[in-house]
């Protein structure tokens, strides 16, 4: 009889294809670069082209590390009982961050919390912690209401083995109806409307609150309380030694934390918030396993913690296993994913490659950590003893513990400690997730990617173009902060870990440099075509097939990975490649620019929280798959200009072909303009054809048009 397994893994069947392709492609790339070097001696113009191709080649080379050894894993949670009894499960602390009640509606955050409170996990071993960086009484109020509802919701879900445990999603999805469903639904709706009423009124009216305990909780919101400057607030909303659900079962713990903030102290954004939660939860419950979640990433599968346990509880598990990552997946993405918000390549293709090396990177949410990997007990100093006592299970809300928890959440607790540099989630970048896992991998920890068919979590993603570009700009800026740092992936990383893995991190952190080839190829061949200047080899020459092979090879392989192997749709693939071009002319260069300004001390970009609210009109546009250009965003400007220049040069190319018969000479340039023109179709529509709210603002269109002309005029002086 075959031995029972908790998990298995196998190398993807395409690995050899990947490797052979990589070797052939690398050979051709080297030819191209050699040719460039030869040309450089003769003419100066190709410097730009050389630089562009060099960056492309470097990025391509580093990206091959993801394709070297991709693996696929499976877990068998049904076998878990054979290995551990339920009472031996480790305690699980779930940390959820929220930062702004206007961009992250409290009802949504409560839904996320409810979906994990209702996990198929022993409730006496489950605790949920909320970090509220918005310091909002409305959020606390929402959770107090949510907790009352949870006492009905949890037993209901378990009794009927409900799978969608976020009530909002459950009732939206046309659920199976049970005798008590009507009542539960009405209860949920009432809870939601009470919370929304308070959200609208902007605060909790204490005069209306009778229970002294609740009045107490809100008394901290004094008149000089502000989001950026306020004392610590910790409220134990549910306590598993006291609270019972309506069926008499033990409730999980639910704790609200708004860390102390001070105007003159950096708070390190989400990483700072998570570190406070690590300490507070360490004091109160000290779960051995810690799950990190964003406030919009609700659980989509109540078995998820058991899947993680299949790795953690395996008697033969690698002692260096640090965390198990469930990839980010999203709900509400439109059919063709116009903004490429699925990030399929990163979350579902490239991540398999890292998993075959040292393990997937932490994606900010959906990561189950072993607590001691991210913060060992010794880093607590004076509160260490209390943590030790926690292993003999004392009630969480004794007075002394709460006093310590307040200290642990104060804004000077981390002074002169290693928090953020060696312990906890690491500071110094806007992408604390990638950086933290990079540092953990450097320290020798490993990770695992767990990607079950049914998504473990589903989150929201930006539903308008400006938000989408702003989000990616923040990431790529964060990545630059990681690369140009003491612990640079290509120097420090390669020395500290499997070099292929370090090159994967190098690839991510340098992605904004893709803006160089994209800008060069979006303008240079077109400008020279506009001036009737041939730039590339004729179709009949050898150089042509070199370019053709490299172009088709790269696009073809990407298509194969995404559509043939990855099962994505052709339209989604097409939209992804379009977004890559758009990022190359927006998020990437602006990330580079802002990062440079910041490095020279000119600006301080913060963590601009992505809005989780969608207006009706915006939602309609998005659902129809129509681009939303409806704000005057500087991010749209470069690609608007590029779309016009490419259109003009394409037309000019036709004239050269039909009037002067110069197809051979101009084919490559026309082809490049043609690709951009086809990709720019939504931009032209937004500029001239559309009348709705999402059209390109007239001011932007005119500015782009005049800039395009100015570039043309200036170039005709040079050529």
Ligand X SMILES: O=c1ccn([C@@H]2O[C@H](COP(=O)(O)OP(=O)(O)O[C@H]3O[C@H](CO)[C@@H](O)[C@H](O)[C@H]3O)[C@@H](O)[C@H]2O)c(=O)[nH]1
Known binder of ligand: residue 473? no
Under rule CB under 6 A, residue 273 binds ligand X: yes
Residue 10: how many CB atoms within 10 A of its CB?
9
Distances (CA, A) of 610 to 283, 476, 613: 31, 15, 9
**From the list 153, 156, 339, 475, which residue makes contact with ligand X (rule: CB under 6 A)?**
475
Out of 607, 636, 648, 667, which residue is the one contacting ligand X (CB under 6 A)? Answer: 607
The verdict on 474 binding ligand X (CB under 6 A) reads yes
**Token pair in block for residue 579:** 């977004």
Our finding on whether 365 is near ligand X (CB under 6 A) is: yes
- State yes or no: residue 364 binds ligand X (CB under 6 A): yes
Residue 85: helix, strand or coil by DSSP? coil
Q: Residue 270's binding partner, choosing from Mn ion, ligand X, none, with beta-carbon cut-off 5 to 8 A by kind?
A: ligand X
Give least dist CB 430 to ligand X, A.
5
Query: Is 245 known as a binding-site position?
Result: no
Closest chain position to ligand X (CB):
364
| Shortest Å distance, C-beta 432 to ligand X | 6
343 binds ligand X (CB under 6 A): no
Instruction: Provide the total of helices (H) and of strands (E) in the chain, helices listed first.
Output: 28, 12
| Minimum CB distance to ligand X, residue 203 (Å) | 20
**Does residue 73 sit in helix, strand or coil?**
strand
What separation, in Å, do the N-terminal and C-terminal C-alpha atoms of the chain show? 77
Contact yes or no for 464/693 (Cβ under 8 A): no
Choose from ligand X, Mn ion, none: what does 364 bind? Cβ within 5-8 Å by kind. Answer: ligand X
- Is 133 an annotated catalytic residue? yes
Task: From 300, 318, 252, 331, select the one nearest 452 (Cα to Cα).
Answer: 300
Shortest distance in whole angstroms from residue 135 CB to ligand X? 11
- Choose the one of Mn ion, ligand X, none that binds residue 530, judging by a C-beta under 5 to 8 angstroms depending on kind: none
Residue 595 binding target from ligand X, Mn ion, none, CB below 5 to 8 Å by type:
none
Catalytic site residue from 53, 93, 100, 133: 133
Nearest to ligand X of 131, 643 (CB atom):
131
Residues in the chain, overall count: 719
Give Rg (Cα) of the chain: 27
Q: Give the residue from 33, 27, 28 showing the smallest Cα distance to 53.
A: 33
Q: Could you tell me the smallest distance in angstroms from the CB atom of residue 296 to ligand X?
A: 6
Identify what 355 binds: ligand X, Mn ion, none; CB under 5 to 8 Å per kind: none
- Which residue among 100, 301, 433, 628 is the active-site one? 433
Question: Does the annotation list 619 as a binding residue?
Answer: no
Cα gap 656→660, rounded to integer Å: 5
CB count within 10 Å of CB 212 equals 8
User: Is 416:423 a contact under the CB 8 Å cutoff?
Assistant: no
* Residues in 647-686 at the binding interface with ligand X, rule: CB under 6 A: none
What would the x/- binding string for ligand X be over residues 286 to 305, using CB under 6 A? --------xx----------
Q: Please list every residue from 89 through 108 that binds ligand X, using CB under 6 A.
A: 97-99, 104
Q: 337 contacts which partner out of Mn ion, ligand X, none, CB within 5 to 8 A by kind?
A: none
Strand order in the sheet with 321-325: 233-238, 253-258, 126-132, 92-98, 289-294, 367-370, 321-325, 446-449
Q: Choose the contact partner of 475 out of ligand X, Mn ion, none; CB within 5 to 8 A by kind.
A: ligand X
**Of 55, 8, 104, which is closest to residue 460 (Cα–Cα)?**
104
CB atoms within 10 A of CB 159: 11
Nearer to Mn ion, 136 or 610 (CB): 610
Per residue, the 3-state secondary structure of 196-210, as one string, reads HHHHHHCCCCHHHCC
**666 interface partner picked from ligand X, Mn ion, none, CB below 5 to 8 A per type:** none
Piece of the chain touching ligand X by CB under 6 A; list 208-216, 245-253, 387-395, 607-615: 607-615
**Phi first, then psi: what are they for 447, rounded to 5°?**
-140, 175
The residues binding Mn ion (CB under 5 A) are: 610
466 binds ligand X (CB under 6 A): no
For tokens 């051979």, the residue is 664
Please identify, using beta-carbon distances, which residue of 133 and 137 lies nearer to ligand X.
Answer: 133
586 binds, among ligand X, Mn ion, none (CB under 5 to 8 A by kind): none
Taking the complex as a whole, how short is the minimal distance between the CB of residue 274 and ligand X, in angstroms?
A: 8
The DSSP result for 329-393, as a single string, is -BSS--TT-TT-TT-HIIIIIIHHHHHTTT-PPP-SSSEEEEHHHHS-GGGGGGGHHHHHHHTT-
Pairing state of beta strands 71-75 and 298-299?
unpaired
- Is residue 245 annotated as a catalytic residue, yes or no? no
Q: Where are the alpha helices (DSSP H) in 600-636?
A: 616-624
Query: Is there a binding annotation on residue 103?
Result: yes
Q: Which stretch binds ligand X (CB under 6 A): 214-222, 472-480, 491-499, 581-589?
A: 472-480
Residue whose token pair is 């197809």: 663
Residue from 286, 431, 526, 586 binding ligand X (CB under 6 A): 431
Q: Is 210 annotated as a binding residue?
A: no
CB nearer to Mn ion: pick between 111 and 610: 610
Cβ-based nearer residue to Mn ion, 506 or 610: 610
Number of other residues whose CB lies within 10 A of the CB of residue 681: 13
Task: For CA atoms 273, 275, 278, 280, give the dihedral sign.
Answer: negative
Question: Among 152, 165, 259, 270, which residue interacts with ligand X (rule: CB under 6 A)?
Answer: 270
Q: Which of 233, 338, 497, 609 binds ligand X (CB under 6 A)?
A: 609
Q: Which is nearer to ligand X, 146 or 364 (CB)?
A: 364
* Contacting residues for 163 by C-beta, under 8 A, at least 6 apart: 300, 301, 302
CB closer to ligand X out of 7 and 619? 619
- Please classify residue 598 by burial: count the beta carbons closer than 10 Å to its beta carbon, then call 0-12 exposed, 13-18 middle and 19+ buried: middle
Q: How far is it, in rounded angstroms, from Cα 463 to Cα 338?
A: 10
Annotated binding site for Mn(2+): 270, 294
Annotated binding site: 103-104, 133, 270, 294
Annotated binding site for UDP-alpha-D-glucose: 103-104, 133
- Catalytic (active-site) positions: 133, 433
Q: Which residues bind ligand X (CB under 6 A)?
A: 97-99, 104, 131, 133, 269-270, 273, 294-295, 364-365, 430-433, 471, 474-475, 478, 607, 609-610
């Amino acid at each position: 009889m075959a031995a029972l397994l908790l998990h298995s893994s196998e190398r993807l069947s395409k690995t050899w294809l990947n490797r052979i392709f990589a070797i052939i492609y690398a050979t051709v790339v080297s030819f191209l670069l050699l040719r460039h070097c030869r040309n450089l001696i003769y003419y100066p113009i190709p410097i730009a082209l050389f630089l562009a191709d060099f960056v492309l080649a470097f990025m391509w080379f580093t990206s091959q590390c993801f394709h070297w050894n991709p693996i696929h894993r499976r877990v068998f949670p049904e076998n878990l009982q054979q290995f551990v009894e339920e009472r031996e499960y480790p305690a699980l602390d779930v940390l959820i961050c929220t930062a702004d009640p206007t961009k992250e509606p409290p009802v949504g955050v409560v839904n996320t919390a409810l979906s994990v409170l209702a996990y198929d996990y022993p409730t006496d071993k489950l605790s949920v912690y909320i970090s509220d960086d918005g310091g909002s009484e409305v959020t606390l109020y929402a959770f107090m209401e949510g907790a009352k509802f949870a006492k009905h919701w949890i037993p209901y879900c378990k009794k009927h083995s409900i799978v969608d445990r976020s009530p909002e999603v459950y009732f939206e999805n046309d659920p199976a109806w049970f005798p008590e469903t009507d009542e539960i639904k009405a209860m949920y709706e009432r809870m939601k409307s009470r919370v929304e009423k308070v959200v609208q009124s902007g605060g909790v009216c204490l005069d209306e609150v009778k229970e002294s305990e609740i009045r107490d909780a809100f008394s901290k919101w004094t008149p000089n309380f502000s989001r950026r400057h306020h004392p610590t607030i910790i409220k134990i909303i549910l306590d598993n030694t006291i609270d019972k659900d309506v069926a008499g079962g033990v409730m999980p713990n639910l704790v609200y934390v708004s860390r102390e903030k001070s105007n003159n102290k950096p708070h390190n954004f989400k990483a700072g918030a998570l570190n406070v939660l690590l300490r507070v939860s360490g004091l109160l419950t000290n779960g051995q396993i810690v799950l990190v979640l964003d406030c919009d990433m609700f659980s989509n599968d109540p078995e998820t913690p058991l899947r993680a346990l299949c790795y953690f509880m395996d008697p033969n598990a690698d002692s260096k296993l640090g965390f198990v990552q469930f990839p980010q997946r999203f709900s509400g993405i439109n059919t063709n994913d116009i903004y490429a918000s699925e990030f399929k390549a990163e979350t579902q293709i490239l991540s398999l490659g890292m998993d075959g090396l040292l393990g997937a990177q932490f994606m900010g949410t959906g990561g189950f950590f072993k607590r001691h990997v991210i913060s060992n007990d010794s880093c607590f100093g004076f509160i260490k003893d209390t943590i030790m006592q926690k292993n003999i299970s004392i009630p969480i809300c004794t007075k002394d513990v709460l006093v310590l928890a307040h200290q642990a959440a104060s804004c000077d607790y981390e002074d002169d400690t290693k928090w953020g540099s060696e312990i906890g989630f690491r500071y110094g970048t806007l992408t604390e997730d990638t950086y933290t896992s990079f540092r953990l991998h450097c320290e020798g920890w490993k990770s695992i990617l767990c990607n079950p068919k049914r998504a473990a979590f589903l989150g929201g993603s930006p539903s308008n173009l400006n938000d989408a570009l702003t989000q990616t700009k923040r990431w790529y800026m964060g990545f630059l902060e990681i690369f140009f740092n003491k612990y640079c992936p290509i120097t420090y990383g390669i020395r500290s870990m499997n070099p292929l893995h370090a090159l994967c991190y190098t690839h991510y952190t340098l992605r904004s440099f893709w803006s160089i080839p994209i800008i060069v190829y979006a303008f240079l061949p077109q400008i020279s075509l506009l001036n009737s200047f041939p730039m590339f080899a004729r179709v009949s020459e050898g150089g042509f097939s070199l370019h053709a092979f490299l172009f088709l090879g790269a696009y073809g392989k990407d298509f194969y990975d995404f559509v043939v192997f990855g099962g994505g749709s052709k339209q989604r693939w097409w939209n992804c490649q379009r977004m890559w071009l758009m990022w190359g002319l927006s998020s990437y260069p602006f990330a580079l620019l802002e990062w440079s300004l910041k490095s020279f001390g000119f600006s301080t970009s913060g963590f601009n929280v992505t809005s989780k609210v969608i207006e009706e009109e915006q939602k309609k546009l998005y659902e129809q798959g129509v681009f939303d250009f409806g704000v005057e965003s500087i991010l749209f400007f470069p690609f608007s200009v590029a779309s016009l220049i490419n259109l003009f040069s394409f037309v000019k190319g036709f004239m050269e072909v039909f009037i002067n018969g110069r197809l051979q000479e101009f084919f490559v340039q026309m082809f490049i303009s043609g690709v951009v023109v086809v990709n720019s179709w939504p931009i032209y529509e937004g500029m001239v054809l559309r009348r709705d709210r999402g059209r390109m603002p007239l001011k932007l269109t005119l500015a782009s048009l005049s800039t395009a002309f100015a570039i043309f005029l200036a170039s005709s002086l040079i050529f």
